[in-house]
């Protein structure tokens, strides 16, 4: 349960980084547009991917 709380804190603080699965662009979580609460949209190559199946990294 503590791990889930830590993940939620990373999301809330916007310090999570997302790496695009297509072009490997790395950016802050808030740079990537979220479409219909599941799909994320890369600002660099415009690739859409499922955020629930995507790995996030923190600072």
Has residue 23 got a pLDDT over 80? yes
Say whether pTM exceeds 0.85.
no
pLDDT over 90 percentage in the chain: 0
Q: What is the mean pLDDT of the chain?
A: 72
User: Torsions phi, psi of 50, nearest 5?
Assistant: -80, 120
Strands 48-50 and 56-57: unpaired
Q: What is the mean pLDDT of residues 26-32?
A: 80
Strand ordering across the sheet containing 33-35: 33-35, 39-41, 48-50
Domain that holds residue 51: 2-57
Q: How confident is the model at residue 28 (pLDDT cuts 50, 70, 90)?
A: confident
* pLDDT of 59 over the 50 cut: no
Runs of H (alpha helix) within 1-59:
2-13
Number of structural domains, the chain? 1
28-35: long-range pairs with CB below 8 Å, 24+: 29/56
Which token pair is 49? 């991917």
pLDDT value for 10: 57
């Amino acid at each position: 349960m503590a791990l889930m709380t830590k993940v939620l804190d990373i999301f809330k603080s916007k310090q999570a980084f997302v790496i695009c699965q297509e072009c490997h662009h790395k950016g802050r979580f808030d740079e990537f547009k979220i479409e219909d609460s599941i799909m994320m949209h890369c600002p660099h190559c415009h690739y859409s991917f499922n955020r629930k199946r995507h790995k996030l990294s923190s600072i």
